[in-house]
Amino acid sequence: MTSCLLTACVTSPTGRSQLLVMPDAQIDQMGLQSFATLKSQKPISQNGQFNQIASCIAGAITREVGGAWEVVVFEDASPNAFALPGNKIGIYTGMLTLVDNQDQLAAVIGHEIGHVLAKHSNERASQDMAVNQGLGMVQAFGNPQTAMGQTGMALLGLGAEYGILKPYSRTQESEADIIGVDLMAKAGFDPRQSINLWQKMEQATKGQQPVEFMSTHPAHATRIQQLEEHMPQSMGLFQQAQAMGKQPRCQ
């Protein structure tokens, strides 16, 4: 408790204690800089259907959290997506071709927004700063080609883009799953499709995922079990949304 009083302990949307020492405005600026860098380096998809679907689904979900969000579809065959502080969402064309329906893509987008709502980037940057990086990281985002800049990008969840693997922790991933499945349900998307999504992701990895104790990500089976346990609550939110007339038709 003393350490919390001396620093900045807060509670995440799921009730977990977090250490956040960096100002939200600073983290948002890092997200904006990172997103601008990606848009300058990665080709943006001109596929009208992909852009319409992505904007429709993201719009339905972000209306539940408020604020203006920018959505960009990147031309990249890998099944990936991300959301950044500063209300930025990136979706790869590979993810759009992987999913079977709007609800599965809603599960992806909800999960990524969950990371932002839970301030996971701030949490990781705060932890990293507390351990060894110091304030030099703040200036590094202006030059992502530097080693420090690449480390900063990794803290926002974009490490794979720069050859650094620094994934979210198992706890953060599980938390984003729960926040995301509730978000999609509130927006009127079928939360049961989140389970189907992870089953598809499991098939897509074709056994390439490391066993759970060697990975910071939850194993797909663990993820599915946690979602199944939470599903009654999400289904209640989904039924409320349906009763309110929230029935997105994005596909």
**What is the C-alpha to C-alpha distance for residues 235 and 128, in angstroms, rounded to an integer?**
37
Q: Is residue 83 part of a domain?
A: yes
Return the amino acid letter for 168: Y
Domain count, the chain: 1
For residue 16, being part of any structural domain is answered with no
211 is a domain residue:
yes
Q: For the chain, give me the number of helices (H) and strands (E)?
A: 11, 5
Q: Is the pTM of this model over 0.75?
A: yes
Question: Quick one: pLDDT at residue 147?
Answer: 53
Q: Centre a 10 Å sphere on the Cβ of residue 27 and count the other Cβ atoms it contains.
A: 24
Torsion, Cα of 204, 208, 209, 210 (10° steps): 170
Q: Are 187 and 106 in contact (CB under 8 A)?
A: yes
Whether 112 is catalytic is yes
Q: What is the pLDDT along the chain (251 residues), one digit of tens a residue?
A: 334 544 467 788 888 877 777 788 888 988 899 899 999 999 999 999 999 999 999 999 999 999 999 999 999 998 889 999 999 999 999 999 999 999 999 999 999 999 999 998 888 877 766 555 544 554 555 555 555 555 555 666 555 443 333 567 788 889 999 999 999 999 999 999 999 998 888 787 765 655 444 455 667 788 899 999 999 999 999 999 999 999 999 97
Range of the domain at 224: 24-243
pLDDT at 62: 98
Question: What is the residue-wise DSSP string for 88-130?
Answer: EEEEEHHHHHH-SSHHHHHHHHHHHHHHHHTTHHHHHHHHHII
> Is residue 5 in some structural domain?
no
Which residue among the candidates 70, 75, 112, 202 is catalytic per the annotation? 112
The conformation of residue 9, written as its DSSP 8-state character, comes to E
Q: What pLDDT, on the 0 to 100 scale, is given for residue 145?
A: 55
pLDDT at 14: 80
In a domain, 237, yes or no: yes
E strand or H helix that includes residue 71: strand 70-74
3-class DSSP state for residue 172?
helix
- Please indicate, yes or no, if residue 68 is contained in any of the structural domains: yes
Ramachandran area for residue 15 (φ above 0: left; ψ -120 to 50: alpha; else beta): left
Sign of CA dihedral 191, 196, 198, 204: negative
Q: Tell me if 177 is assigned to some domain.
A: yes
In a domain, 11, yes or no: no
Structure tokens at 122: 């701030």
Closest CA relative to residue 179, chosen from 237, 102, 121: 237
